């Protein structure tokens, strides 16, 4: 088989007027070979044998599977399981064929991407971005992962970005409410992708089934929620570009000392891109067009200042509802009922219909119990000991100082714990929480543990000096070594000695 250069040399010498024999001598090939090369058509295309691909027989089926948006692995499984002609080729050949069909579909006319511009006040698009391995320049910092919420108005290109530690439902709602407050109103439509905090699933008609919290938010703020079609990320348009823009224009090339510095630099950057820099898409400053959009917004509801997320909670047998592992009390007669909860930043409010039945300060710790003693008034008549434990829980939640003070009393004065708790609760109700907590702090400094000491500090006559120095403890505080208790507990099955016997043993 002649090489390309040999063929080229034959044609070159022929153009110079050499005959077949002369050319054959120069290229060292037979004269008949030279004649054959010169007589070949110059545009001859080498063709391979026309063999039908083992994948091509599935073309119509693959087209249907693409319409159903099946994954390529599932298509391959169906081809293997075909009852008439199972696919026996290599998986890579199948994947390549599907890729070609996908590309051909994308190049069809109906797949062309068509841009559109929103009307003033019409569209707000939101999305999440993620940045991993953020390393602050602060000493001893470790790489962190941040998520950032992005919102952009379609008409004015006004944007809002907020960095968060998670993408939870509450985080999403609070970020959106803050964005709407910044923008000064509510647009007609808010568009998202199919994130699980917005769309639970699609029904049989491919319509979104909204998350109850998102649906309630849309109802109260009077906007129309829209979700992009599945696998159609191009519908997000401007906000998708905003995620990339934030990464490339804000994050790239910057360093941050700590999280506070990250927020400070972000606010400075938003001020520039919203109120100083001209947008390339519109040729206008976004802040200027925002003034036009505000005339078409719906007004913000009063709840936008401190929005409470909507959810439902069931009252269990303990007369409490559980939210984020913490237990919050409600009136005991509501046991077994489902209440409407509004989750605010600082408060948890519980409603039965239109009646507010309980309101608690929101606890961000875990596995805590927050009670309002009045919720158990009826139960106290049947279970007297419950009063002591409920009042103690209430005292323990007044703060770490009170918690430690009450805990010490419960350990040192176990025999009179019930009486001590009753007196402490009565004192707190009588003088108010501020004075009660101040007295606890003073008593702790002086190592005076007991309701009688607090009573002396709180109820002393006006103008008198501190009573702390004249108060005498009812029981002397004795520091005991563990070894002194060993004779008392040597036999675990023996009867517990009386109090006077213990005093003689350690005295």
pLDDT exceeds 90 at position 507: no
CA nearest to 421, candidates 443, 433, 405, 445: 405
439-470: pLDDT as tens digits: 999 999 989 999 998 888 887 655 555 444 44
Q: Which residues of 156-184 are buried (b: 16+ CB within 10 A; e: fewer)?
A: bbbbbbbbeeebebbbbbbbbbbbbeebe
Of 434, 358, 348, 443, the closest CA to residue 399 belongs to: 434
Cβ-contact 302, 220 below 8 angstroms: no
SS3 474: coil
Percent of the chain with pLDDT over 70: 84
pLDDT, one tens digit per residue, over 160-174 is 999 999 999 999 999
- Give the integer Cα–Cα distance in Å for 392 and 400: 14
Q: How many of the other CB atoms lie within 10 Å of CB of 81?
A: 9
Query: pLDDT digits over 99-149, tens only?
Result: 998 888 877 655 555 565 778 999 999 999 999 888 888 877 788 899 999
pLDDT in the model for residue 178: 97
| Residue ranges of E strands in 106-258 | 123-134, 144-153, 159-164, 189-192, 199-202, 208-210, 224-227
Confidence of residue 504 (pLDDT cuts 50, 70, 90): very low
C-alpha 80/C-alpha 68 separation (Å) is: 18
* pTM of the full structure: 0.64
Picking from 251, 4, 6, 264, the residue whose alpha carbon sits closest to that of residue 131 is: 251
pLDDT at 6: 80
pLDDT at 477: 47
The tens digit of pLDDT for each residue in 48-90 reads 666 667 888 888 899 888 888 888 888 998 999 888 889 988 9
């Amino acid at each position: 088989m002649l090489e390309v250069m040999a063929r080229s040399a034959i044609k070159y010498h022929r153009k110079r007027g050499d005959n077949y024999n002369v050319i054959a001598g120069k290229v060292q090939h037979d004269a008949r070979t030279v004649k054959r090369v010169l007589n070949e058509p110059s545009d001859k295309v080498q063709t391979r044998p026309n063999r039908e691909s083992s994948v091509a027989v599935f073309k119509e089926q693959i087209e249907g599977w693409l319409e159903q948006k099946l994954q390529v692995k599932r298509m391959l499984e169906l081809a293997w399981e075909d009852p008439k002609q199972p696919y026996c080729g290599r998986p890579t050949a199948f994947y390549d064929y599907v890729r070609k069909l996908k590309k051909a579909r994308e190049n069809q006319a109906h797949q062309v991407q068509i841009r559109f511009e929103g009307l003033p006040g019409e569209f707000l698009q939101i999305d999440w971005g993620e940045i991993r391995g953020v390393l602050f320049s602060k000493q001893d910092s470790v790489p962190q992962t941040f998520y950032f919420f992005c919102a952009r108005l379609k008409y004015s290109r006004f944007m809002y970005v907020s960095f968060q530690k998670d993408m939870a439902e509450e985080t999403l709602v609070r970020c959106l409410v803050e964005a709407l407050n910044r923008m000064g109103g509510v647009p007609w439509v808010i568009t998202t992708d199919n994130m699980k905090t917005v769309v639970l699933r699609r029904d049989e008609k491919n319509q979104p089934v909204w998350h109850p919290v998102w649906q309630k938010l849309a109802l109260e703020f009077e906007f129309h929620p829209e979700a992009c079609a599945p696998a159609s990320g191009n519908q997000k348009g401007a906000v998708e570009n905003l995620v990339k823009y934030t990464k490339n224009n804000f994050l790239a090339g910057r360093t941050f000392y700590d999280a506070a510095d990250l927020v400070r630099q972000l606010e400075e950057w938003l001020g520039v891109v919203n109120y100083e820099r001209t947008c390339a898409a519109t040729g206008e400053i976004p802040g200027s067009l925002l003034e036009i959009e505000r005339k078409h917004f719906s007004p913000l509801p009063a709840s936008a200042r401190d929005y409470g997320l909507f959810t439902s909670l069931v009252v269990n047998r303990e007369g409490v509802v559980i939210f984020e592992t913490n237990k919050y009390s409600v009136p005991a007669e509501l046991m077994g009922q489902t209440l409407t909860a509004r989750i605010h930043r600082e408060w948890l409010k519980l409603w039965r219909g239109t009646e507010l039945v309980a309101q608690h300060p929101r606890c961000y710790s875990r596995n805590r119990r927050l009670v309002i003693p009045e919720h158990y008034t009826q139960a106290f008549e049947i279970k007297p000991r419950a009063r002591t434990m409920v009042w103690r829980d209430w005292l323990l939640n007044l703060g770490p100082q009170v918690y430690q003070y009450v805990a010490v009393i419960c350990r040192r004065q176990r025999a009179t714990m019930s009486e001590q708790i009753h007196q402490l609760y009565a004192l707190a109700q009588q003088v108010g929480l501020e004075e009660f907590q101040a007295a606890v702090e003073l008593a702790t400094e002086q190592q005076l543990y007991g309701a009688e000491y607090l009573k002396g500090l709180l109820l002393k006559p006006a103008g008198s000096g501190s009573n702390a120095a004249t108060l005498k403890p009812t029981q002397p505080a004795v520091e005991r070594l563990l070894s002194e208790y060993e004779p008392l507990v040597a036999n675990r099955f023996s009867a517990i000695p009386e109090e006077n016997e213990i005093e003689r043993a350690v005295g």
